[in-house]
Amino acid sequence: MHDDRQLVEARLKRVLDERIRPAVYPASVPLDVAVWHAPGEPVPVAEGLAASPTPIRVGDEWGAPWGTSWFTVTGTVPADWAGRTVEAVLDLGFDENMPGFQCEGLVYRPDGSPVKGLNPRNQWVRVGAPVEGGEEVRLHVEAASNPVILDYHPFLPTKLGDRETAGSKPQYRLARMDLAIFDETVWQLVIDLEVLGELMAELPADGARRWELLRAVERALDRIDLQDVNATAAAARAELAGVLATPAAPSAHRISAVGHAHIDSAWLWPLRETVRKVARTTSNMTALLEEEPEFVFAMSQAQQWAWLKEHRPEVWSRVVKAVAEGRFVPTGGMWVESDTNMPGSEAMARQFVHGKRFFLDEFGVENQEVWLPDTFGFAAGLPQIIKAAGSKWLLTQKISWSQVNTFPHHTFLWEGIDGTRIFTHFPPVDTYNCSMKGSEIAHAARNFRDKGVARHSLAPTGWGDGGGGTTREMVAKAARMRDLEGSATVTWETPAQFFAKAEAEYPAPPVWVGELYLELHRATLTSQVRTKQGNRRSESLLREAELWAATASVRAGFDYPHERLDRIWKTVLLHQFHDILPGSSIAWVHREAEKTYAAVAAELNEIIDGAQQSLAGDPASGELVFNAAPHARNGVPAGGAATVPAPSPAAAVRTRGEGGYVLDDGLLRVVIDGRGLVVSAYDLRAEREAVAPGQPANLLQIHPDFPNMWDAWDVDQFYRNTVTDLVDADEVAPGEAPGSVRVVRSFGASRVTQVLTVEAGRLDIRTEVDWHETEKFLKLAFPLDVHADRYAAESQYGHAFRATHTNTSWEAAKFEACNHKFVHVEEPGWGVALVTDSTYGHDVTRTVRACDSGTTTTLRVSLLRAPRFPDPETDQGLHRFRHVLVPGAAIGDAVREGWFVNLPERRVPGDAEVAPLVTVDDDAVVVTAVKLADDGSGDVVVRFHESRGGRARARVSTGFAATGVAVTDLLERPLADAVAPELADGSVAVSLRPFELVTLRFSR
């Protein structure tokens, strides 16, 4: 037979595009449209409905950036449409390729009840099926003219990302606003042909099935009267019924489709817009659930549910009903889909506490799967936290975005730093926005790396990022692929149903140990420094507020601020969302975040001050030092307060003969040369030099930084090819503070001032940068005379190791990585810690010196970048950083110094020394939280972990009358399978595995 395959395929495309799809709406009449533009920020629904709109015509411009326009559409169903299905087709001027990234709308009835959302893939509103004819139609559309930030030429700097700079030029042109007859038979024919055409394209050209589909499609097209598609659609469908009815092969891949709308809690839109995005998407999804009995929809991020409850109670009540039916499924169990690299230990834990608690409180539902499809890499502390939260499964697909290495598994056990293993699935469909295209389904089946031993994968299905969700077309396509020869099978299921099957069929999956590093978006550890510093400071203040409020509550009857702490925690957790803390949102989001963090700090300081004052006794006599760190400091116990010890004398500043200065406190002698660079840091106890010979430390280095795409997210490896060392100083002189040296440098349009001091054997560097660069990367380098093939970087509840070399492509790809409070490198018996109060990005490299053949291990912290997308002014202005170099530090010293730098002492007038509420007698055991139980019982909750990677046996002692103790999960619920330690004289003995995390709850 002659090969006419391409001819038939081309025919299918043209007939579908030009004749069949247009026939879905065979007749239409225009609606009358009027509009009222809200002056400023969104208004309440009642105000939008009550406004007086003025007429607007199709084709007219509307919508200043970030504006809200209330459209009123009115019309009458023609009498001769009686018996037909009629829909309003409302096209606000959509670009069909950008659902969620442009204008959107929410349709209301005149009584203010929401109907459904409008987006380019969802422009219809059902008027009647069937109609009687003559019905009056009146609908209101709350339309958001959100500007397009990520356009066809992506990553171009734009001022549209902030209402304050976006201007007022209309962004859209009103398109179709009609009442139309909906011909369901034609619509079904479209779906039939799409499914078969897309499947056909994926099948081998020498296989019989492909040709059977081709011939069936050809017969169907032959049945179509191109001048009367509507009359002939049924006959065409009849030709396709046979090939649609042949079942899938027994070995076919099985896809669990989960209805989904990935909604970024903020990104290319501000937080307030996400509140409305959630309302639009959930309106559509509850409507779809009512129409489609097999459909299942899952929504993550308790914060978004909370927004819906607060702002759109009518939609919320529909969601509550669907949750009760088990078809609208709370998933993820976290407050938001957060970043997991940067959140500190407690914050990562609280993401689960607040997320799970919301679902439990509202629905009595506790989901066990963690849902993080889009997060930029996963810290190795996370498995233990997932388990401690009472969850057991993890889903992400983001690692498929890695630039270099292909992850070897799609279903596997992920092992964290403490040995906890979590059953993990990466959907092989490689997207969290599956649209049920044949190419996606075929890719999932082909791509699945666990074929032969496993058969199931999950496909998050629906438009996402900016919301939108699943469409009726996706549901219709899935129905045809339920059991279809040549295709993977598709079944709507909840995430839990998928995981239960996947786990059952794969009892011994492969194991991946350590972090799930994303080989992309590495610059998110640095971009938008103020947001990152706000996060770090908030985490520290929350620790202090809980500790001192709990102490004051137990000791002095202080009113523990449960509600305020709950609210503040949720604010901080929200800002750990995977486009806020990573610095990848528009300027508006980061500008607001800075203000929010300032308010958080003010409120937490007020709580801390109040608690400390209630403990401190007579403010007229004496002064106390409060130590919130988990280790004793200068004679003040951990978690206690004592009268002020005599200040230790600052190291003297000596002038150096050949220029520069020497700082020496008897423990550490630091030599600063005439350029302001640290050429020696000599550990006087160990009689050992820390700085590599001939390679000065405290060296600021600046690189050009223009990645190939994703400006705020990415730094590409070639940035290192070009570097400028900032060695010229405007000034090197003794600083104002005793014992300090001040170094001032100018470069480009920027200026940096550093103040160096030496105290207690540590070199303290405070760096202030007035940053006015474009597309540059600023690093602070410490070349150390240390030979090590790995280094430690703090993560949640411990630390993880990474190589200092680049033997393999996996190691080479980790050229920028995350630390929390420290990085640490050591030879046996002697190491160096570099501690930071606020930076997360760093790199570690090694070189061999020509002068003495020794190895230099260079630690560099990432201070600032200057990307221009999506915020064209990213990080311009003044920034302050603190870093502390600790020569001679063992890993335990690194842990301790990290806490000290992030939790400065507080001096409070008073004379009543405060004994700690909780004491631990082993410094390796670090207390990360002391608080009152969230249930208001007054119980004291203590969370601690082994911090050095070894074993620990410790006594945990209470400074109050404890009457009982229980081991609990993160939600403070007693663990059924845990043996409670014996409480004797208010203390318990515990033994911990490396990095093991324990939560104890003491009753009083």
CA atoms 332, 335, 336, 337: torsion sign: negative
Q: Give the span between the Cα atoms of 892 and 900, in whole angstroms.
A: 12
Query: How far is CA 742 from each of CA 447, 656, 771, rounded to the nearest angstrom?
Result: 57, 15, 18
**Dist. CA 152–CA 880, nearest whole Å:** 37
Q: Are strands 421-425 and 855-865 parallel, antiparallel or unpaired?
A: unpaired
- Tell me how far, at minimum, the Cβ of 37 lies from Zn ion, in Å: 30
Q: Answer for the pair 526, 841: CB distance below 8 angstroms, yes or no.
A: yes
Nearest distance from C-beta of residue 155 to Zn ion, angstroms: 17
Nearer to Zn ion, 432 or 498 (CB): 432
Residue from 104, 264, 493, 683 that binds Zn ion (CB under 5 A)?
264
Nearer to Zn ion, 338 or 491 (CB): 338
Nearest to 73 by CA among 62, 87, 88: 88
Determine phi and psi for 205, rounding to 5 degrees: -70, -15
Question: Nearest residue by C-beta to Zn ion?
Answer: 374
In whole angstroms, what is the distance from residue 886 CA to residue 833 CA? 5
CB 411, min distance to Zn ion, A: 22
| Residue 790 identity (one-letter amino acid) | R
CB of 259 to Zn ion, least distance (A): 17
What is the closest distance, in whole angstroms, from the C-beta atom of residue 492 to Zn ion in the complex? 23
DSSP string, 950-1003: S-EEEEEEESS---EEEEE-TTSPBPTTPPPPPPBTTEEEEEE-TT-EEEEEEE
Query: Is 376 or 548 the residue whose CB approaches Zn ion more closely?
Result: 376
- The reply to whether 515 sits near Zn ion by the rule CB under 5 A is no
| Segment near Zn ion (CB under 5 A); pick from 130-138, 372-380, 503-511, 965-973 | 372-380
Closer residue to Zn ion in complex, CB, 433/533: 433
Q: What are phi and psi of 476, to 5 degrees?
A: -65, -35
Report residue 161 as tokens. Answer: 């990302």
The answer to whether residues 676 and 726 touch, using CB atoms and an 8 Å cutoff, is no
**176 or 578, CB closer to Zn ion?**
578
> Secondary structure of the chain: what % helix, strand, coil (to 5)?
30, 30, 40
22 touches 136 (CB < 8 A)? no
Active site residue 374: yes
392 CB neighbour count, 10 Å cutoff: 16
Token pair of 176 as six digits: 């179709």
HSE of 756, CA atoms in CB hemisphere, 13 A: 30
Stretch that binds Zn ion, among 374-382, 420-428, 757-765, 970-978 (CB under 5 A): 374-382
Classify residue 407 by its DSSP letter: P
Q: How far is the CB of 166 from Zn ion (least distance, A)?
A: 22
Residue 265 vs 368, nearer CB to Zn ion? 265
The least distance separating Zn ion from the CB of residue 280, rounded to whole angstroms, comes to 17
Separation CA 336–CA 358 (nearest Å):
12
Q: Which of 162, 178, 192, 374 is catalytic?
A: 374
Residues 729-788 that bind Zn ion (CB under 5 A): none
Region of 13-21, 173-181, 256-264, 675-683 interacting with Zn ion (CB under 5 A):
256-264
CB of 531 to Zn ion, least distance (A): 16
How many amino acids of this chain bind Zn ion (CB under 5 A)? 2
Q: Name the helix (H) or strand (E) containing 501.
A: helix 495-505
For the record, the structure tokens of 527 come out as 């971009």
What stretches of 698-821 show up as alpha helix (H) in DSSP? 809-812
Residue type, position 714, single letter? D
Can you state the angle between helices 587-615 and 529-556, rounded to 10 degrees? 20
> Torsion-angle region of residue 875: left (phi > 0), alpha (psi -120 to 50) or beta?
left
Nearer to Zn ion, 68 or 396 (CB): 396
Please, which residue, 575 or 745, has the CB nearer to Zn ion? 575
β-pair partners for 762: 759
Determine which residue in the list 212, 374, 493, 946 makes contact with Zn ion, applying CB under 5 A: 374
Q: Is residue 778 within 8 Å of residue 702, measured between CB atoms?
A: yes
The least CB distance from residue 464 to Zn ion, in Å, is: 8
**CA gap 687, 684 in Å, rounded:** 5
Report yes or no: 624 and 641 within 8 Å, Cβ to Cβ. Answer: yes
- Contact letters (x/-) for Zn ion, 216-255, by CB under 5 A? ----------------------------------------
CB of 396 to Zn ion, least distance (A): 11
CB 582, min distance to Zn ion, A: 10
* Cβ closest to Zn ion, residue 212 vs residue 374: 374
- Separation between Cα atoms, residue 831 and residue 813, nearest integer Å: 25
The secondary structure of 849-888 as a DSSP string is -TTT-PEEEEEEEEEEE---SS-TTTT-EEEEEEEEEEET
Residue whose CB is less far from Zn ion, 172 or 432: 432
Where does this chain touch Zn ion (CB under 5 A) — which range of 18-26, 172-180, 366-374, 667-675?
Answer: 366-374
Beta-bridge partners for 320: none
Closest CB to Zn ion among 211 and 401?
A: 401
Query: Which is nearer to Zn ion, 264 or 683 (by Cβ)?
Result: 264
Min dist. Cβ of residue 816 to Zn ion (A): 20
Three-state SS letters, 704-723: ECCCCCCCCCCCCHHHHHCC
CB of 374 vs Zn ion, minimal distance in Å: 3
385 phi and psi angles, rounded to 5 deg: -70, -40
Find residue 122's DSSP bridge partners: 119
Pick the piece of the chain touching Zn ion (CB under 5 A) from 14-22, 29-37, 45-53, 258-266: 258-266
The torsion angles phi and psi of 98, rounded to 5 degrees, stand at -130, 55
Output the six-digit token pair for 360: 């439990």
Indicate the residue among 397 and 958 with the shorter CB distance to Zn ion. 397
Q: What is the largest CA-CA distance in the chain?
A: 104
Interface segment toward Zn ion; rule CB under 5 A; list 369-377, 420-428, 495-503, 523-531: 369-377
Judging by DSSP bridges, how do beta strands 511-513 and 254-259 pair with one another?
Answer: unpaired
Stretch that binds Zn ion, among 172-180, 261-269, 767-775, 925-933 (CB under 5 A): 261-269
Candidate segments 227-235, 370-378, 865-873, 918-926, binder of Zn ion by CB under 5 A? 370-378
- Catalog residues that contact Zn ion under the rule CB under 5 A: 264, 374
Catalytic residues: 374
